[in-house]
Structure 1
Amino acid sequence: MNKKELKEFLDTKVVQYNNPRFIESDPIKIPHQFNTKEDIEIAGFLTATIAWGNRKSIINNATRLMGLLDNAPYDFVLNHTETDLAKLQSFVHRTFNGNDCIQFIKCLRHIYLNHSGLEPLFNKHAETNSLQKSISNFKLVFFEIEHLNRTQKHVSDPLKNSAAKRINMFLRWMVRNDNTGVDFGIWESLSPAQLSCPLDVHSGNVARKLGLLKRKQNDAKALLELDTALRKLDAKDPVKYDFALFGLGVFEGF
């Protein structure tokens, strides 16, 4: 395929998968259970944090986690007691355990009380066409309070060559307004043009088969290569192609 044919093919796949039917089988269904900005972004951030492995398991465990937060994540983050936190000790998703969960709630409380919330923090170091420095800075601020060292591994740092798939996915959810009701678009201080594609095994393999990516590892260097290719297809909304790459990989075995 030449560039024009590739763009037409991928644009068709975006339309096919970027629609409300996508929500039901995707972890994004968890934040869609909420209506207020803070509930949506906290539910989204925590769900994205555990979004690796089997999608059904991710959804089930994220649903359980919201229940442990009394299905009121923002209120829980701000007003929890030590007794409330003790309930979270039983939570586990793969290597993310109860201690990590409790630490995340404490760190989120710190963000909302001392840094005006998640959106201003990510906006602070945003660049014209990248949020990777923002993600790195977010991790520094997130863990600037007393914390468990083991929990740091659950927040990726692009400046240490991580593709930061889960945070990039979370940012897509918050920033991109697709007018179809899938991504939320509630962070209006940031632009879809600044987003990076959530790079994982599926999207990476499809991107390589389509000639969008040559690097073999799914790391920060590969992400930059993929971002550059996708911005040539649509500079204003490059990560819409995440739907195409993911759909082709997961649903079509491309």
Structure 2
Amino acid sequence: MSAWSARRFWTTASAVPVEGGFTVQLDGRPVRTPLKSPLVLPTLALAEAVAFEWQAQEGTVKPETMPFTRMANSAVDKVKPQFVAVADMLAEYGGSDLLCYRAEGPAELVARQAEEWDPLLDWASAELGAALRTTTGVMPVTQPESSLAALRSLVHGFGAFQLAAFHDLVAITGSLVLAMAVTRGRIDVAEAWRLSRIDEDWQIALWGEDEEAAEVAARKRADLVQADRFFTLCG
């Protein structure tokens, strides 16, 4: 029976040092990933967060209440074995970054996008060495290869655990620039969420909010916050 379907059998979940980092032990037994790999975490803070999730379980283990454990498992079982492929996939967002694709109208929305997004593109150019071009509508714009190479190098500079969290920061916002800005302290995760939702919020202001869409958005926002905290705990 896998850990995910097991009932709680332990009294104490604790974070302990091991070779290469830290792990979580359940009454002295080390936790393993779904693929049975050792769960070796890069920092004590992250190990303590994972241990807290295990300690909080009652009865049957519920993975939906253990976001840090699930992301750590993903880092070990999925990201590490194919690190280059994952990093390359995320770096490709630089070629289609949300902040580069602007509305053709109305004028108020066009102005809002420019006011809110241009400072982040200016920052990416100055601080990341990645000047990106903007366009209107859905027609693709070709980005400078030097900018894409700079972004690719930065993404490849993350560790596997950081990259697991960075994946969600990028995928949920649709923006490599916003994700980089969060990880470097240029903006916080709440601001990244707001900036990624300018188009959606504009439509909501005009037509109202669909209940189902609001529920989906709330889940995505929660996932974004968790990814930001996980990245921070990686040290």
Q: Which has the higher strand share?
A: 2
Q: Which has the larger radius of gyration?
A: 2
**Given the two structures, how large is their TM-score scaled by the length of structure 2?**
0.28
**Given the two structures, how large is their TM-score scaled by the length of structure 1?**
0.26
